[in-house]
Chain A
């Protein structure tokens, strides 16, 4: 077994007992990146020199016995997290040369634990996309089949874990951007409750929906990562002052009596037959483990995508107004006046999907349309949220598919934005409700592509979904599947 194949907790045991060093682990990952990334394209920036230096620091820390579960662990970050002195592009031409003067809170917390950063990962530009095709640095490929998308927007974060380039990664999830790529690449992806993890230093897309979370090889690693990044941050006024539990205490194999709900709106005609089969097997597994399976209804599910694409684009159009070429980022050459500079800078710096969403959001917020579109969507959001809160009065977790199909082919949906948006149909409602969800490997398609299941918990109920996910993982072998890359 190579060091780069291990989980966080497996590598931690070797580091703690001095059977391996952080320098060896980091070198192993850097070599692996070298041999695989020409094919996968997970990384936008590789920080080899800095990584080796932090690995040496980690080894010195380990020698003193003062180690955290993440000390010396090689990680990588979606390129949406600002990193002091290290280029942060958000996969956009707009920020192709941007060197931030500060660190995001999530990365700072991981760094304080002694984690090592290997580099910055590819994504859809400004996190807008479901396939990782909207990157100014070329698409990331799915390590299970290089002709398929890895999912998005945290496609590089999922592909790097699946391709064994990094032990674990950080992503962000606005409408499914952690859970959907995790499902497509066969890893675990956790989207915490809105407010659980600080968004400080995360380049903003849709601020009422964005949330930070880990992509890992198993559920134990997800619990370790969440514990490290969760908590109130005075620099993010939307982060919540609530104690952070020890999430590893929720890693329990016994789900006897747990009430697991199947929302009938998620098990519809037209679900891909492979996904259907995987879900049936998962339900059977939970039944065998003694969970109580109940059917529920989330009646406003069908309105979630429409609601999301108004709220998210409206917030995006406002957030992305900051890119005007004055203070940082790209600036168009030879503009005659300030307005021309703004217009040319933005037209040159943004890709087609970003322009599309800014346009849609600007329209939805514009005079005469605000009530009909944006306000209407915010009201429907209330109904969607109430669906979940009512359901959680009677059940512990909700079980659904992550995506309606396994990973699709590169190029398949690029010309039909609406079809692309509908691939997030099962993940978007969780963001609108502001609650938490996890994607866990649950099977394979007949074409050899991974398929995940989604467990949704009540707000700040991460322990329940970690518990349910861990029980499933322990009862099955799907998390142990590896790509032949």
Chain B
């Protein structure tokens, strides 16, 4: 086994997903199959290969640091599930 049920439960917390027992069982089997498949990458010797993060070689893209119009609070809050005045409202953070 490449991955255990306990591993899957731990990863679910990292991913901020609340999964049912059935979902955990199904994912354990599927992730195990996929991880076994991707193991084939280890057939390749890559010690001296430079990793590719981006296909197009781009340097940092800088822009002038100047104030430009933004979408504004009203637009930003338009789709908020819950708001008070100009703020997003969320459940209590500090007990």
Contact = CB atoms under 8 A, between A and B. Distances in A.
A444 interface: no
Contact of B33 (A327, A341, A418): A418
Interface string B16-55: 1111000100010011011101111111101001111111
Interface stretch (A68-76, A303-311, A397-405): A303-311
Given A338-B93, A375-B51, A385-B55, A306 B38 contact: yes
Contacts of A287: none
Contacts of A346: 15-18
Contacts of A382: 49-52
B56 interface: yes
B79 A379 contact: no
Given A358-B17, A373-B38, A337 B27 contact: no
Contacts of B18: 343-344, 346-347
Contact of B61 (A194, A237, A435): A237
Interface string B70-95: 01000110111110000010111101
Contacts of A99: 78-79
A335 B91 CA distance: 7
Q: Give the size category of A's interface with B.
A: 35 or more
A129 interface: no
Contacts of B81: 325-326, 328-331
B58 interface: yes
Contacts of B91: 335-338, 340-341
Contacts of A341: 90-91
B41 A194 contact: no
Contact of A240 (B12, B27, B56, B71): B56
Contacts of B51: 375, 378-379, 381-382
A128 interface: no
**Most chain A CB neighbours (cut-off 10 Å) among B58, B79, B82:** B79
Given A347-B18, A378-B52, A195 B58 contact: yes
B44 A347 contact: no
Contact of B54 (A208, A303, A329, A337): A208
Nearest to B95: A337
Contacts of A293: none
Nearest to B88: A326
For B23, B52, B92, the residue with the greatest tally of chain A CB atoms inside 10 Å of its CB is B52
A359 B16 contact: no
Contacts of A98: 79
A108 to B, nearest CB: 14
A102 interface: yes
A469 interface: no
Interface stretch (A16-24, A360-368, A448-456, A474-482): A360-368
A473 to B, nearest CB: 28
B84 to A, nearest CB: 13
A321 B17 CA distance: 11
8 contacts: A98-B79, A101-B71, A238-B54, A305-B37, A358-B15, A378-B53, A379-B50, A385-B52
Given A240-B58, A435-B55, 12 more contacts: A234-B63, A237-B58, A240-B56, A302-B40, A337-B92, A341-B90, A343-B16, A363-B7, A378-B51, A385-B52, A433-B55, A434-B54
